[in-house]
Amino acid sequence: MIYTISHPSKKINGSICLTASKSESNRALMIQALCSEKFEIKNLATAEDTVTLNRILNQQQLSDNNQQIIDVGAAGTTMRFLTAYFSTQKGTFILTGSDRMKKRPIGILVDALRGLGAEIEYLENEGFPPLKIVGKALRGGEVVIDGSVSSQFVSALLLIAPELQTGLVIKFKGEVISRPYINMTLKMMEEFRVYGQWHANSISVSKQNYHRKSDVDYVYQVEADWSSASYWYAIAALSEQVDLSIMGLNHPSLQGDAIVADLFTFFGIKTEYITGGIRITKNRFKDEHFGFDFSDCPDIAQTIAVVVSALNIPALFNGLHTLRIKETDRIEALKIELNKIGTSVEILNDTSVKITPQTVDFKTSVTISTYDDHRMAMAFSALALKLDSVSIADPEVVKKSYPNFWTDLKSVGFELK
C-alpha cells in the first residue's frame, strides 16, 4: 500500500488530541506488573508496542504453564523490558520476535542479567534473540555497562532492581547517552515509592517494594507523546502558516523529547503552554547552519533531518550512536531517502552525519520507502507542505507508535489517496 499525501493550502489550523506516550506507557505497565498493589493506568498508549506488552503481561499473569513461548514481534522496548522481567519470574520463557528483532543485539543486557544471577540461553545466534529464560529470584549486585548503549537496557535493569535480593548498582563506562530516558524511568519508579540515586557515574537502587499512592481512587495518568509531537513541529516548520493546538502535553514533562519545543525555535516555531496542552505558531526561521547532538533524544533525529533538508539548511548531526540498531539502519535509510529530494547525507562515522541540502523543487513529487520504520513514515510526511505531494510506502507502519497519525493529518487539511 502507498499513501499519496498533499495539502492544498499549505496552511495548518486546528487542534489535535495527541497519542499517549509509548515510552511512559511501557514503563507504567512494567511497574504495574511488579507492584503487589493494584492500580489503574489511564490514557495508555494505543501504539502497537504497548498493546503487545500489555497483552503479554496479562497472558503471563493468567498462565500456569511451565513453559511459555512469547513473540514480541517488532517491539524492541518490549523485548528488552521482558528479558529483564522474565528473568525474575518463576517459569521458563521462550522470548522471540520478528526477523528484524532477531538481528537487534541484546547481548549487553543478557550479560548484565547473567551477572546478577539470571539463567538465559541464546537459541539461535549468540548475542541476539530468541532467548530461553529460566526465571528465578535474582541475587542482584553490581554490573558495568557501556554508557553509549541504548538506554532501554539500563531502564530494563532499573525496573527490576527493587526485586533483587541485594539491590542493584549500575556503573557506566564512558559518557551516558539518552540520559533523559533513564531519568524518566527513575522518576516513574519514585511515583511508586522506589528510589534510585545517581552518583558520579553510576546509579544505585536498594531492595524495595513498589507501592501505589495511598489515595483510594489513585490512577496513573500517561502524558501525550512528545516524540509524536515532533512530527507536528516539523509540519509547522514547513507550512506557510500555522496555528495549532496539541492537547495532552505537560510542562514540565518526564519525556526527554520535550526538548523539541526549544529546538524548533531555531526553525521559527513558537510554543505557548496552555491549559491541557500547547499552542504552536510560526515566526521567521534562522536560515543558517544547524548543529545538534542527539545523544539524549535520538528519536527526533530523522524528523529534524527532513526539516533542515526541506528548508535548505546545512547541518551537522552528532550523537547518532543507536540509530543503526533501531527498526532499520536509520542513518542509511535517511541517506537514501533524502537523496530523492537532492539532499546529500555524508556519514562521517557511526555517530555523526553531515547534511547538505539543495533548493527543493516545489513542483516535484517523491515516493519514500519506510523500511518497516514508523518514524521514517511520519518524519517524511511533512514534505507534503513543500512538494506537490509525497507518497509514503507501507504507511501502516505508523501503528507501532502513533496509530491515528493519518487520521490526525486529515483533520487539519491534508489529503490522502
In the annotation, is 299 catalytic? yes
The residue behind cell 547532538 is 293
Of 123, 73, 77, 79, the closest CA to residue 99 belongs to 73
Q: Which of 49, 257, 296, 299 is an active site residue?
A: 299
Q: Quick one: pLDDT at residue 157?
A: 98
Give the β-pairing of 196-198 and 202-205: antiparallel
Contacts of 331 (CB under 8 A, 6+ apart): 320, 323, 324, 345, 347, 353
Q: Quick one: pLDDT at residue 62?
A: 61
Q: Quick one: pLDDT at residue 285?
A: 77
Per-residue pLDDT of the chain (417 residues; tens, 9 = 90+): 999 999 999 999 999 999 999 999 999 999 999 999 999 999 999 999 999 999 999 988 766 667 899 999 999 999 999 999 999 999 999 999 999 899 999 999 999 999 999 999 999 999 999 999 999 999 999 999 998 888 999 999 999 999 999 999 999 998 888 899 999 999 999 999 999 999 989 999 999 999 998 777 899 999 999 999 999 999 999 999 999 999 999 999 999 999 999 999 999 999 999 999 999 999 887 778 999 999 999 999 999 999 999 999 999 999 887 777 666 789 899 999 999 999 999 999 988 999 999 877 777 789 999 999 999 999 999 999 999 999 999 999 999 999 999 999 999 999 999
Q: Quick one: pLDDT at residue 64?
A: 64
Q: Quick one: pLDDT at residue 325?
A: 64
Q: Quick one: pLDDT at residue 48?
A: 93
Other C-beta atoms within 10 Å of 152: how many?
Answer: 24
Question: Phi/psi at 139 (nearest 5 deg)?
Answer: -75, -30
Q: Quick one: pLDDT at residue 402?
A: 96
Q: Which domains does the chain have, with CATH numbers?
A: 2-20+225-416 (3.65.10.10), 22-221 (3.65.10.10)
Of 336, 291, 338, 341, the closest CA to residue 313 belongs to 291
**Which residues make beta-bridge pairs with 291?**
316
Q: For residues 222 and 27, what is the distance between their CA atoms, to the nearest angstrom?
A: 10
C-alpha cell at 364: 516535484
Q: Where are the beta strands (DSSP E) in 181-307?
A: 196-198, 202-205, 219-221, 241-247, 269-274, 277-282, 290-293
Q: For residues 332 and 354, what is the distance between their CA atoms, to the nearest angstrom?
A: 13
Of 2, 59, 406, 32, the closest CA to residue 219 belongs to 32
